[in-house]
Amino acid sequence: MEQIRRLTATEGGERVDKYVAQQVPSLSRSRIKQLIADGFLRVNGSVVKPSHRLQDGDEVVLRIPAVEEVQLVPQHIPLRIVYEDEDLAAVDKPADLVVHPAPGHELGTLANALVARYPDLPVDEDGRPGIVHRLDKDTSGLILVAKNEGARRDLTAQFKRGEVDKVYLALVDGKVEPSDGVIDAPIGRDARDRKRMAVVRSGGRQAVTKYHVLEHLGDFTLLEVRPQTGRTHQVRVHLAFIRHPVVGDKTYGHRKQRLDIKRQFLHAHRLGFRLPASGARLELVSELPGDLADVIRGLRRPNLITAEEWERLGSAD
């Protein structure tokens, strides 16, 4: 059941996240920060950041959405493990594999497969086993799994400090210029559709994405993308923001797709991080899966039709 808490600040100068943590002790600090980032907290009617300083008499309204518990059922689903030691495993996730169960989708997820393979995985405060970062359902590639609590805390801290080198391959619409760029634009919930994220100037969380052009392919560009922060849907939102959305992205991309692709062209290509036990640096690589590699091969053919020709064919139907 959803709850709404209405609070009135009595002392000025305190951070809103710390104030709410004191007033609602049943919520963890990380949960409060996530609720604020998702736009569920307002001060005097406005969305704010966790670091917002309250004034005496400010009205704080916090919505706490109902959370439906999902029973995690072990399932023996084949996984491609590209690296493993006593602390962690790295999985090369295929597209169409959901990472965490959700109401209405309790089975067939990566989490189901992991608890079957590793019954003693540590869980976070939301009950998620071992997984220390996220990949969207239709994004393929590398994802890390902590096998014990010490490793979970270590890897989570590396992600929070920005010490993990994350590299994605993305095919986007249009010719991206210049060949190197930085997108620095805050991300938060879309005010018109709470299921979507968007670049928001007020109340959004800092988000920075670097990109490098690998190849121009007709009306498309193959990019190497390095998110410097870890916001939900960050790469997809930022690339759509600069008007070069990821090809095949049904949420942030063009409604009419011009390529034969059944999912978004986004692949977690490389992960560089420090091993919890030794501190040694490790870099893992996952090459483009077959469906995405086929798209690139098709674009390199000299007889590829242009966007204008495609539009003319469509208008002739």
Catalytic sites, residue numbers: 136
Give the residue among 175, 195, 165 at the shortest CA–CA distance from 268.
Answer: 165
Residue 238 sits at φ, ψ, to 5 deg, of -65, -40
Whether 121 contacts 130, CB under 8 Å: yes
The residue type of 261 is I
Task: State CA 281 to chain mean position distance.
Answer: 23
Paired with 3 in beta bridges are 64
Give the residue among 90, 42, 31, 37 at the shortest CA–CA distance from 275.
90
Residue in 151, 169, 182, 141 with CA at minimum distance from that of residue 273: 151
Helix (H) / strand (E) containing 7: strand 3-8
Give the whole-angstrom CA distance, residue 64 versus residue 42. 12
What contacts 153, CB < 8 A, 6 or more positions away?
none
Both tokens of 99, joined, read 């990472």
What interhelical angle do 29-37 and 16-23 show, nearest 10?
130
Q: How far is CA 50 from CA 9, 38, 206, in A?
A: 15, 11, 12
